[in-house]
Amino acid sequence: MILTPKKIDCAKLAIADNTFQRQLNLIETSRSLHLLSGFFHNGEKFALAKEASNLGLPENPGIISKITGLCLLPWPVQNGILKGAVSLVAAIELGRLPEQTCVALANLFCDLKLSLGKQREVITFVKEIAARENISAQDVISDDGLQEILNNDELDRTQKTAKLRAFLRKRRFPAITEAERAFKQNLSGLKLRNRVKLVPPANFEGTTYTLSFDFKNLEELKNHKRAFDGIIQNPALGKMLNYSIPMAR
């Protein structure tokens, strides 16, 4: 199909009529850029950027490439963007998923009002779980345990978010999650004094633990020494060291 100058002029006139009257929202901007981009080839991104700038649209080619496709996403995602419930970064990631999964996650983000960081975390966990278990991303979202959390009317948004993240993390990192559970259980058995901390290796991937304590004077230091002797003799410490590291591997 040959595009005539008249058609691009009509498109530019329609875009200008909108952009010069008021500030466009992100979806309207995407529609305008999508319309305008139809008159340029892939290698003409700078020419497109220049024309977009003349029409009051974003002129950065990188920004243009991110925004242009938003108007092609399923409506729940677009609606989430307009409400401020789905971030631009998350929307781009959602656009790479199957439509059913894309819509399900967009609705979840709108319901729970997740921050950008939590949106990216959920998307990453869902994709990695699907790859790890050789199932679809939709299978992950449709899991009975996950749906039970989301449909529990006794939980508020904050509680649902916490349980959702814990559920996904446990499924993504089952060994680490179990090691953390065992560590906390044995840590409780140590009955550490105030201002004494025992820190495990990051992700339980090493063998080095860190024991730290604060003191203001010599007497407090002596008290910590007596407590330290008790920690070494406590069977809970041996269970912790012998159990958590193998489970995480």
pLDDT tens digits, the chain, 249 residues: what are they? 445 557 877 878 888 777 777 888 999 999 999 988 888 877 688 888 888 888 888 889 899 999 999 999 999 999 999 999 999 999 999 999 999 999 999 999 999 999 999 999 999 999 999 999 999 999 999 999 999 999 999 999 999 999 999 999 999 988 887 788 888 888 888 888 777 888 888 777 777 888 888 888 888 888 888 888 888 888 888 777 775 444 444
The confidence score (pLDDT) of residue 244 equals 46
Cα–Cα distance for residue pair 58/108, rounded to 1 Å? 30
Quote the pLDDT of residue 89. Answer: 94
Scanning the structure block, which residue is given the tokens 């990188």? 62
Judge residue 66's burial from the number of C-beta atoms within 10 Å of its C-beta, 0-12 exposed, 13-18 middle, 19 or more buried: middle
pLDDT of amino acid 247: 43
Predicted local confidence at residue 248, as pLDDT: 40
pLDDT of 101 = 96
Which residues have CB under 8 Å from 220's CB, separation 6+?
none
By C-alpha distance, which of 121, 115, 56, 57 is closest to 86?
115
pLDDT tens digits, residue range 63-95?
999 999 999 999 999 999 999 999 999 999 999
Residue spans of the domains in the chain: they are 1-72, 74-172, 174-248
pTM of the predicted model as reported, rounded to 2 decimal places = 0.74
210 DSSP β-pair partners: 199
Quote the distance between the C-alpha of residue 245 and its chain's center.
27
Token pair 């991303």 is found at 137
Per-residue pLDDT, 246 = 44
What percent of the chain clears pLDDT 70, i.e. is strictly above it? 95
